[in-house]
Amino acid sequence: MIKVRANPWPLIIATYNIHAAVGSDGCFAPSRVVSVLREINADIIALQEVPLGGSHWPNVLGMLEKAIGLAAVEGYTFTVGGRRFGNAILSRYPILTTRRIDISFGSREPRGALDADIYCHGHALRVIATHLGLRAAERRAQIARLLQTFDTGEMPIILLGDVNEWFVWGSTLRQLVSHFQAVPAPATFPARWPLFALDRIWIRPRHRLVHVQAHASRIARLASDHLPLVAHIDG
C-alpha cells in the first residue's frame, strides 16, 4: 500500500543556467554539467540556455536526461544557426502536464517560461522555469505576464530561473517580493567570482523555503558562467 504524505515536501529544488554547456573556459563540455547536476542531487531542476538539438547539433537536454536519470521536458524558445534553445525541467517525480508561456517582448530576443504540473508524494506541484530579458522594461512586462498566468491558490507554486536583475531594488524584484515575499538571494554570477544574484527561487507558501545556497564546487565554477542555486523546501 502506497502511503500518501500530507504535503509534497521535503524537496530539493535547483535552477541552473548552463550557458549552452559552454564553461567559463570557453569549452563545450556537457559532461561537466552532468557532474554538477550529480553533485546537487536535486529532485526538480530548472535549466536555462539549454541546447535542444538541431541539424548537426547535439541535443544536450537528451544527454542530461540519460546521464542523470530524471524525466525531462523542454520549453523551446528560439533557433539560431540551426540550433534550438530553450528552458527545461528535470524531475525525479512524474510530470503530469506542461505548458509553454510566451513572454517575448517586442523585437527583443524571444523568451519563454516552461510551466509544469509535477506529482510529488501524492500532491500536484506547479513549477515555472523561466529566463527573463536583459532590459528593465522587458523584465517588468514578463513578470507581470507570468504572475497573471499562475495567480491561483489551487496548488503550491515554485517560480525559478535566471531573472537577469542586477539591481537589488529593481522593479522586477519588487514585483516578485510583493507576490511571494522576500527570499534569500546568494550571488551566482559570474561563476568563478560570484557578485550578482541573477538566479532566484520563489515559492508560495513562502515558509516552506528553509534554506537557499549557491552550489560553488570546483566543477560548478568551471561548467557554466552561472552557479546553480539550490533550495531545500520543507516544513
Report pLDDT digits (tens) over 154-208.
678 899 999 998 776 677 778 887 777 778 889 999 999 999 999 999 988 777 7
pLDDT tens digits for range 23-73:
999 999 999 999 999 999 999 999 999 999 988 889 999 999 999 999 999
- Which domains occur in the chain, in start order? 11-233 (3.60.10.10)
Encoded amino acid at 76, one letter: Y
**From CA 24, how far away is CA 36, in angstroms rounded?**
14
Kind of pairing between the strands at 11-17 and 229-233: antiparallel
* C-alpha cell recorded at residue 167: 539591481
Q: How far is Cα 131 from Cα 112, in angstroms, rounded to an integer?
A: 7
What ranges make up the beta strands (E) of the chain?
11-17, 44-54, 57-59, 71-80, 83-91, 95-102, 112-120, 123-131, 157-162, 199-204, 209-214, 229-233
